[in-house]
Chains A and B, each alone.
Chain A
Amino acid sequence: MTSIRRQLITGLIAVVALAVFLGAAVVYRQARAELDQIFDYQLRQMALSLGDQSFESTLEGNAREEFDFVVQVWSREGLRIYFSRPHAVLPNRARLGFETMASAEGLWRIFSMQQRGVTIQVAQPMRVREQLAASAALRTVLPFIVLLPLLALVVWFLIGRGLRPLNAVANAVKARTPSALDALPVERLPDEVKPLVLALNDLLGRLAQALEMQRQFVADAAHELRTPLTALRLQTQLVERAQSEDDRRAANAAVSGGLQRATRVVEQLLTLARQEPEAGARGLTKIDLLDLARDALAEHALIAEEKSVDLGIVRGEPATVEGEANALRILLANLLDNAVRYTATGGRVDISIYTDDHRAVIEVIDNGPGIPLEERTRVFDRFYRRAASDGSGTGLGLAIVKRIVERHNGSVTLADAPERGLRVRVELPGTLA
């Protein structure tokens, strides 16, 4: 039973009924005690008053039915000389004083005394006392018994009214759509409901924020896809327009360049989406960054050679981290890709891997143009592309690097290279090999 209303009503009625029953029992007991005193006193007084009579002959009383006292009188010789109701089932004997005795007609209260040679006994059925006590008890609790259904009704109504804010909250929650996640009203809410609504509001707020971030990401992504698609569309039109074979060849080359860029943007977007904080954690393994760096180096060697960029590892020491191998591979690839891309022909890109104070460090130093101080935070924003860039970048590389570093509880900083160019330093929490 999960209805608060039903639980409360049932509990309440049970408790009230128990209280009424206990009350009735107490009243009954008290009434009995008082009635015992009064009736015992009466029995005694009656016997005393009978003692003054003279019972000359044996006679049978003819007491009326509603007179529920029974009187017996014995002579000195033990002869019954008076009996108020012959059919009464009392024994023909007496013990002096008060006595309670069972008979075929129930319990009797009996008082016997001797006075001036005769024994007088007055008896009364206990039933009388029981009935009187019971009716006293009933009189006391009757109003409660009558009021009980009314009480249940009132409580039912009150609980309904008390719970109405909950219904209001439920309706308000129902009305919320993913596009309208504003907070629920908390005014005039009972104290019991407020924490629930406040918690809900907190959740709604975080949801709205996450949704807004997602929406922004999708909008940004669509916007960013438009640029390479626009370029592609224009490039294909130039192919159609081409008059000469040379024109066509140049236009086709442009199309393939455009396609390459569009593909890269899509790939990078996917990578970024996978590195979003909401994406669940994947298996962590112990990874030697030096191994990863060697792999990344091998992958970029060809591009570097094409551009006559001298790409190599200058400091290679073991550095082990606990992380996602694939993510770290992407991180290194992006760093090398950027460095080679923005370094002029004949430039130099140096990779260092080492451990410094329990931190695994990746450093990529190029002798390209570098990034001015004021842009060093912005380049980590997704889709931020520097004015001087040649348009082949996606604006996502460093954003991806940052996400991956954050997922690994590390840090990434940009600084000037010793001579000229950029030094990217990634620090990750290291583990013992």
Chain B
Amino acid sequence: MRLLLVEDDAMIGTSVQHGLRQDGFTVDWVRDGQAAELALGAESYDLVVLDLGLPKKPGLEVLRGVRRKKNLVPVLVLTARDAVSDRVTGLDAGADDYLVKPFDLDELAARIRALLRRRAGRADPLIRHGNLTLNPATRESTFNGKPLVLSVREFAVIQTLLDRPGAIMSRTQIEERLYGWGEEVESNAVEVYIHALRRKLGADFIKTVRGAGYMVPTKS
């Protein structure tokens, strides 16, 4: 899951980025409104964590701009102002959720997971597909009722594919979900993770669509 973090304060930004990475998210961090718009125009994100008090362009304007472009990406707003009117303004401008500073890293991660779940159209906090169950909150997984050990990246790859079962994801698309800016992408990393996952889940769990990418077939 690739997130865009828009936060002008260096200390808060560093900590949130660090914490969310520990939770298995890929986090790109920008520090002003204009950079946020550039990033949103250039990349596709699963979710945006948006601080409202931003230099160069206020967070609310960024948010309105995103919605004006019919971009449905879930947006979680961070605000230091806890007046009801501020929160209402934020939600009415198109935010999906908000957190008032100071907030808890765990709560932020939980709300992000909830938003992603809702976007994927699931009510169940666990991701289930066939005999595989993923818990995004704890990053634990079971297969055929037994605990399954997956690395952070492997978990991210299978979660990405299960996000929209039946859809084909190209190698580049998967890479984008896995690596933020400035992170070194090994040339055949995705193939390596797919290979490892097939070893653990069975060769048929992930299908290769030649010339297009990978998919997890919907259960027939």
Contacts and interface: CB of A to CB of B under 8 A. Distances in A.
A257 interface: yes
A215 interface: no
A257 to B, nearest CB: 7
B8 A387 contact: yes
A80 interface: no
A241 B16 CA distance: 13
B9 interface: yes
Contacts of B41: none
Nearest to A241: B22
Interface stretch (A48-56, A154-162, A229-237): A229-237
A223 B15 contact: no
B19 A230 contact: no
B61 interface: no
B12 to A, nearest CB: 5
Contacts of A254: 11, 14-15
Contact of B19 (A237, A390, A392): A237
Classify chain A's interface size: 20 to 34
Given A241-B22, A387-B31, A230 B81 contact: no
A195 interface: no
Given A228-B11, A238-B19, 12 more contacts: A227-B12, A230-B101, A230-B102, A232-B102, A233-B103, A234-B105, A237-B104, A237-B106, A254-B15, A261-B11, A385-B8, A391-B9
B147 interface: no
A390 B14 CA distance: 12
Interface residues of B, number: 23
A363 to B, nearest CB: 28
Interface in B13-41: 14-16, 18-19, 22, 31-32
Given A223-B80, A238-B18, A233 B10 contact: no
Interface core residue of A229, A238, A254, A257 (most chain B CB under 10 Å)? A238
B55 interface: yes
A35 B157 CA distance: 134
B11 A231 contact: yes
A234 B107 CA distance: 11
Given A226-B80, A254-B14, A231 B9 contact: yes
B103 A230 contact: yes
A368 interface: no
B56 interface: yes
B55 A386 contact: yes
B102 A233 contact: yes
A258 interface: yes
Interface core residue of A386, A387, A390 (most chain B CB under 10 Å)? A387
Nearest to B106: A237
Give the top 7 A-B pairs by smallest Cβ distance, nearest first: A391-B10, A387-B55, A234-B15, A231-B11, A230-B102, A230-B101, A233-B102
Interface in A386-426: 386-387, 390-392
B15 A231 contact: yes
A10 to B, nearest CB: 59
Interface of A: 223, 226-235, 237-238, 241, 254, 257-258, 261, 385-387, 390-392
Contacts of B80: 223, 226-227, 230
B189 to A, nearest CB: 23
Contacts of A386: 55
A237 B19 CA distance: 8
A379 to B, nearest CB: 12
Given A258-B11, A390-B10, A227 B101 contact: yes
Contacts of A258: 11
Interface core residue of B11, B19, B55, B104 (most chain A CB under 10 Å)? B11
Interface string B77-109: 000110000000000000000000111111000
Contacts of B19: 234, 237-238, 241
Contacts of A235: 11, 15
A232 B103 CA distance: 10
Given A229-B102, A241-B22, A234 B12 contact: yes
Contacts of B10: 390-392
25 contacts: A223-B80, A223-B81, A226-B101, A226-B102, A227-B9, A227-B12, A227-B80, A227-B101, A229-B102, A230-B102, A231-B9, A231-B12, A234-B12, A234-B105, A237-B104, A238-B18, A238-B19, A241-B19, A254-B11, A385-B8, A385-B55, A386-B55, A387-B8, A387-B32, A390-B10
Nearest to B35: A387
A233 B104 CA distance: 7
Contacts of A392: 10
A258 B10 CA distance: 10
A226 B8 CA distance: 14
Contacts of B22: 241
B188 to A, nearest CB: 28
A309 B104 CA distance: 38
Contacts of B14: 254
Nearest to A243: B22
Contact of B105 (A228, A238, A261): A238
B81 to A, nearest CB: 7
A237 B105 CA distance: 7
